[in-house]
Amino acid sequence: MDPTVLGTRLASSLIAPLLKKLFRQEPPGAGLVDKPVRLSALVSFRGAKRTLTETDVRHLAAHLVREAVDSPGERPFPSDEETAVIDAVTRKLVALGDLEMDDVQAVRLGYRELARKLHYHAPSPAYLSSDSSYFLDTLTEWACLHIINFFTRQSTFVARTLVTQSRDLDELVAKLDELITRSPRLDARDAAFERRYLSYVAKKHGKLLIYGIDLVNSPGKWPLDTAYLSLEATAPESLVEDSALLDELRSKVEAAFNGANRLKSVRLRQLPLPADEALADHDRVLLRGEAGSGKTTLVQWLAVSAARHDLDGRMAYLCDRIPFVLPLRTLTRHGERLPAPANFLPAVGAPLIGEQPPGWESRVLATGRALVLIDGIDEVPEGERARARAWIGDLIDTYPGNRWLVTSRPSAVREEWLAEEDFTELTLAPMRPDDVAAFIGRWHTAARTGAYEEDEALTSYEAQLLNAVRAKADLGRLATNPLMCGLLCALHRDRRGFLPIGRKELYEAALTMLLARRDRERGMPGPELREEPQLQILQRLAYWLIKDGRTEMSRERALAEITKALPALPEMAALGDAEAVLTHLLNRSGLLRTPSRGTIDFCHRTFQDFLGARALLDDGTFGMVRKHAADDQWEDVIRMAVAQGRPRDRADILRALLRDTSARAHLLAASCLDQATELDPSVRAEIESRVSFLLPPTTLESTHELATVGPLILDLLPGPEDLDDVEAAEKARLCVITASRIGTDAAIAYLSRFSRYPSWQVRGQLAWSWHRFDTERYGREVIAHLSHEDLYLIAHSAAELSVLRDMGGRPWMQLEGDFTAGALLTGLDPDQLTRLDLRGSITDMSVLARFPLLEVVYITACPNDAPLTGLQDLPRLTRLGLTAQHARLAAQAGLRLPQVSTLYVYDLGTDSQLEPLPDAFPSLTQLNVLIRPGHSGRVNREHLRALFPHASIRSSDETRQELKHE
């Protein structure tokens, strides 16, 4: 759209005098008044001084349109739409009087932005043809160009502009003075060091180890940009997993407000969300994730992102942040005190130690510029975690205003462990099928060497592995995190398309690949060692770490343990002394590494646990199992010991767990059963009997514990027909949560049994869990059978929308995440959709006008400046939900929705945010104000009654109190 195109039809000599009539002529002077001179005071068809009526404005519009039509050339739009175009031009010109700005502000906007605001206040009718709409938009821009030119020629404009600029400059100087007073300046030494430090961080953390990729002349590490896979983070179970209870709250809220729909309480940013954006919405996050789930990789990604200067829009929130990566495994390896800021760099062995200006770390933290990444609470011995928590609390109290991320395995610390420090708890979600496919593709791309035959084979292996992971349930259960996916890729390639079955076999094959075949295939010189003697040394080191509750050891301790083992291992002793053996394992095994000078650890915690389990079996002291049944650092060790042990060993280990009276120990025993290939039947029966007392689950916490048992629990969970007491609906919901957390397709058959359950809370949980499973299969076996009535169908992706559309669509839809306008038009049925709950962002909000049957719309996470004019074309819209900021900005921009009778306003900060709303919602009969939990906002009822005299007012405090009595 270019106004100069229309300029060939409407010369300035014609349009300028006509538009000049729209405005009053002001006397000379600067036009100084107490408030800015609004356009509504300048137009000639408003107020007591009006010289034009709106009928006169229509005559002007008709003259403009007809001059354009009668000019030489092809007619710009169909003749039967001329009246409609004239009416539309009139509305846009009249809308000049509705703009909340003065002429100086209009000139600053420019003609295109001024035209956009007129379009926002008076959108083009949807029924116009594309030619008419194009002409209307072009005429509006051409008119705005002349309007702005008219303003600049007024005698008052130049004077008022100078005054405005002077005021703006004074205000800017005052703000800069305040900023300088508040924030210490970054001196030249600090700035110079930070450039070096950020370069160091980017290089140190900019590579990612990918297991098994270096077998045939390929690099062992990827650039992080290539390797990084953005995973999702979900809220803690007490929030997101309780989605059905939140839906029940929503139902009661609307029932209390004489409504029929359900409204879930919302936050500004809905979950799940990309894990690397968690700190954009929360300054402090405790992130939980299983071993290999990508916690440390996320820490690397955040550190490298902050160290860059070319951040994209998604990661721009890290701009000007100084990252401190603090791996607790390193900081606590000798039981030292956790470091103060001045010792951050020495504690991690940074080579820049001593080069930083004195006090630099404290200055970064004191000015709120730090990104503090504390990795691995689970790698601190259990007895030292309280001290670690106190250390974190002291740092936060001393240096508020920074961003903090703490990572941990799920069971290492209790829920709300850092709640007193205002940490938000999130959990890394397992990889979805699409994530697995993306990882496999990237792995094989990185593994290509350029050799034609090798690369052709890799292409074939990639396709085979993708099919195998999708078709075989056992492989699908393994491919849930980046570590296991990497191992699967490496072994599949190493074995030329064949894979072991089961976790135990997978690790055994990986160890064989790394210890016995790796050097041969790389053509490395030196003695060839058998696998078993190397394993004996490695498992001894692993067992020492496990018994000491650590994941790093000093080089001296490693040498001492190897020295003890060498007399019994002549094949290893042939290499030389303990120093020679350790050097060989560090350089050649791929399992040990030196994370910092003088320290040794395993390349990944899971290898340590697997080898430690071997040592436990060799040691035969199964009393250690009962002693550590409640220790999260021993969980995988015990599971792997059961997987690797002889039948008698398995029975002894599991009996030791059964002698513990805790539910946790019994569930751990149950989680070992699928690894116990051969087991005394009486032991198996005893475990199943003990677990049956824990079923069905009664709390959200218990669903998490039961899910750790894996697919085995599906055979023990009761079905819908077995739940018939007064609490049946709640028990059914918790059973569904348990099964959905298992996250493999094995759970789909169980979940499908609940698809016709009468309680909508249960069916709502089924709808929410869709994104955890294969889209098509879950849609076919579960979603297709959910009742349409009283239930929002939830889609997290365009693929789910597509499957729903193929099923015939649904009238009530909830969209979680970001969607394009095209995805909505393709995936939603405009002849069916009546309710839409948007919990993400769409690229073009005007697309909502394409769904004329919409009666209820909730918009909770779209950008606050996203235009909502499309809602004006929804004649049936009676119920609307918006954030307070979005509602205020839309109203100020001229939004008018007289058809809306019930309005929900979320995340209210102050009553003043609602002051522009009465004009936007003139027919409002019900206003429901929801203050975000923990927010300091307050509702002044008298003020709201004055603003909305014909509407009943409900505040969130009243709502919570009312629900409490229910």
Same domain, 17 and 126: yes
Out of 405, 428, 451, a domain closes at 428
Average pLDDT over the chain reads 78
Residue 6: closest CA among 123, 154, 111 = 111
Question: Tokens 């599991």 map to which residue?
Answer: 654
Of the listed ranges 23-32, 521-530, 786-795, the one predicted with least confidence: 23-32
* Region 778-794 average pLDDT: 87
Structure confidence at residue 519 (pLDDT): 57
CA 805 to chain centre: 26
pLDDT of amino acid 914: 85
Last residue of a domain, one of 499, 514, 545: 499
Query: Do 34 and 161 sit in the same domain of this protein?
Result: yes
- Distance separating alpha carbons of residues 317 and 371, to the nearest angstrom: 11
Nearest-angstrom CA–CA distance, 482 and 297:
10
Q: How many CA atoms lie within 13 A of 844 on its CB side?
A: 10
Residue 937 in contact with residue 908, Cβ under 8 Å? yes
Contact 93, 63 (CB under 8 A): no
> % helix / strand / coil in the chain, to the nearest 5?
55, 10, 35
- Tell me if 621 is assigned to some domain: yes
Which element (helix H / strand E) includes 725? Answer: none
Pairing label, strands 232-234, 273-274: antiparallel
- Among the residue ranges 93-102, 374-383, 409-418, 685-694, the one predicted with the least confidence is 93-102
Cβ burial of 310 (10 Å; 0-12, 13-18, 19+) is exposed
Could you tell me if residue 470 is inside a domain? yes
Contact between 644 and 539 under an 8 Å Cβ cutoff? The reply is no
- Judge if 394 and 448 occupy the same domain: no
CA 312, 315, 318, 324 torsion: positive or negative? negative
pLDDT at 262 over 50: no
Please state, in angstroms and rounded to a whole number, the distance separating the CA atoms of residues 131 and 115. 18
Place of tokens 């056992």: 474
Question: In which residue are the tokens 């990566």 written?
Answer: 325
pLDDT (0 to 100) of residue 6: 47
Local structure of residue 735 (DSSP, 8 states):
H
Count of structural domains, the chain:
4
> In the Cβ-directed half-sphere of 811, how many Cα atoms lie within 13 Å?
12
The structure tokens listed for 280 are 């954009």
User: What pLDDT was estimated at residue 673?
Assistant: 86
In angstroms, rounded to a whole number, what is the distance separating the alpha carbons of residues 663 and 660? Answer: 8
SS3 at position 234: strand
pLDDT at 597: 74
Decide the pairing of beta strands 221-223 and 273-274: unpaired
In a domain, 838, yes or no: no
Given a cut of 90, whether residue 15 has pLDDT beyond it is: no
Least confident segment among 319-328, 602-611, 920-929:
602-611
In this predicted structure, what is the pLDDT of residue 936? 47
Whole-angstrom CA distances from 948 to 486, 858, 920 are: 60, 21, 11
- Give which of 867, 873, 874, 601 is closest to 882, Cα–Cα: 867
H runs (alpha helix) in 711-851:
728-742, 748-752, 760-768, 775-781, 798-806, 821-827
Task: Report d(CA 717, CA 715) in Å as an integer.
Answer: 6
Contact status, residue 703 vs residue 737, Cβ threshold 8 Å: yes
Q: What distance in Å separates the CA atoms of residue 573 and residue 565, rounded to the nearest whole number? A: 9
How large a percentage of the chain has pLDDT more than 90? Answer: 21
Is residue 56 in a domain? yes
Q: What is the DSSP letter of 241?
A: I
Cα–Cα nearest to 795, from 270, 267, 431, 440:
270
Query: Could you give phi then psi for residue 786, rounded to 5 degrees?
Result: -80, 135
Closest CA to 741 of 716, 713, 721: 713
Query: Quick one: which of 834, 867, 827 has its CA closest to 852?
Result: 834
Pair 135, 223 in one domain: no
Q: Is there a contact between 407 and 171 (Cβ–Cβ < 8 Å)? A: no
Residue-level pLDDT at 310: 63
CB-side exposure of 692: number of CA atoms within 13 Å? 8
**Could you tell me the two tokens for 583?**
């050097």
Contact 732, 723 (CB under 8 A): yes
What's the 3-state SS for 91-149?
Answer: HHHHHHHHCCCEHHHHHHHCHHHHHHHHHHHCCCCCCCCHHHHHHHHHHHHHHHHHHHH
Regarding beta strands 599-602 and 552-554, do their DSSP bridges make them parallel or antiparallel, or are they unpaired? antiparallel
CB of 764 closer than 8 Å to CB of 244: yes
Identify the domain boundary among 499, 520, 550: 499
Q: Predicted confidence band at 642 (pLDDT cuts at 50, 70, 90)?
A: very high
Residue 49 forms part of a structural domain: yes
- 915 vs 29, more confident: 915
Residues 384 and 419 reside in one and the same domain: yes
> Which 3-state string (H, E, C) describes 623-647?
HHHHHCCCCHHHHHHHHHHHHHCCH
Whether residues 464 and 481 fall in one domain:
yes
Measure the CA–CA gap between 793 and 21, rounded to whole angstroms. 54
Q: Give the pair of three-digit tokens for residue 439.
A: 């990882």
- Determine, yes or no, domain membership for 816: no
Q: Quote the CA–CA distance of 121 and 99 in Å, as a whole number.
A: 8
Best-predicted range by mean pLDDT among 450-459, 706-715, 934-943? 706-715
Phi–psi pair at 182, nearest 5 degrees: -75, -35
Q: What is the pLDDT of residues 886-911, one digit of tens each?
A: 888 888 888 899 999 999 888 777 77
Task: Give me the pLDDT at residue 611, please.
Answer: 93
Residue 829 near residue 835 (C-beta atoms within 8 A): no
Q: In b/e form, how buried is each residue of 520-549, taking b as 16+ CB within 10 angstroms?
A: eeeeeeeeebeeebbbbbbbbbbbbbbeeb
- For range 7-20, the mean pLDDT: 55
| Predicted pLDDT of residue 265 | 32
Q: Are 27 and 78 in a shared domain?
A: yes
pLDDT digits (tens, 9 = 90+) for 646-657: 999 999 999 999
Q: What is the 3-state secondary structure (H, E, C) of 530-575?
A: CHHHHHHHHHHHHHHHHHHCCCEEEHHHHHHHHHHHHHHCHHHHCC
396 in the same domain as 448 = no
Please identify which residue in the block is written with the tokens 């071993």. Answer: 291
Distances (CA, A) of 561 to 237, 539, 556, 586, 593: 42, 11, 9, 15, 16
pTM of structure: 0.52
384 and 284 together in one domain: yes
Query: Do 145 and 9 sit in the same domain of this protein?
Result: yes
Round to whole Å and give the CA distance between 913 and 934: 18
Which of these, 278, 626, 227, lies nearest to 444 by C-alpha position? 227
**What is the Cα–Cα distance from 305 to 858, expressed in whole angstroms?**
34
26 and 112 fall within a common domain = yes
Check pLDDT > 70 for residue 153.
Answer: no
Q: Evaluate if residue 44 carries a pLDDT over 70.
A: no
Long-range contacts of 560-565 (CB under 8 A, 24+ apart): 562/537, 564/540, 565/536, 565/537, 565/540
Residues paired with 857 in a beta bridge: 836, 880
Residue 33 token pair: 């008044």
The confidence band for 959, taking pLDDT boundaries of 50, 70 and 90, is: very low
Residues 384 and 454 in one domain: no
Q: Is residue 254 part of a domain?
A: no
Give the number of other Cβ atoms within 10 Å of residue 789's Cβ: 9
The pLDDT of 419-430, averaged and rounded, is 85
* pLDDT tens-digit series, residues 845-881: 888 999 999 999 999 878 777 888 889 999 999 999 9
Per the domain annotation, does 586 fall within a domain?
Answer: yes
Closest CA to 678 of 638, 700, 646, 709: 646
Q: What is the dihedral of CA 758, 762, 763, 769, to 10 degrees?
A: -170
pLDDT at 931: 66
**pLDDT tens-digit series, residues 740-774:** 988 777 789 899 999 989 888 899 899 989 888 88
Is residue 730 within 8 Å of 757, Cβ to Cβ?
Answer: no
Question: Which residue from 422, 169, 384 is spatially nearest to 286, judged by alpha carbons?
Answer: 422
- For 469-520, what is each residue's pLDDT tens digit? 877 665 666 677 777 787 788 778 877 777 777 778 878 887 887 787 655 5
Only one residue has tokens 């404290």, namely 362
* 461 membership: H or E segment, kind and range: helix 452-471
pLDDT at 533: 92
Check whether 296 has a pLDDT greater than 90: no
Strands, E, within 193-338: which ranges? 207-209, 221-223, 232-234, 273-274, 284-288, 322-327
Q: Within the chain, what is the greatest distance between any pair of CA atoms?
A: 108
| pLDDT tens digits along 203-245 | 888 877 654 444 444 445 666 766 677 778 876 544 444 444 4
Distance CA 861, CA 773 (A): 25
pLDDT at 565: 92
Residue range(s) defining the domain that contains residue 404: 195-235+271-428
Structure tokens at 852: 């004329």
The type of residue at 245 is L
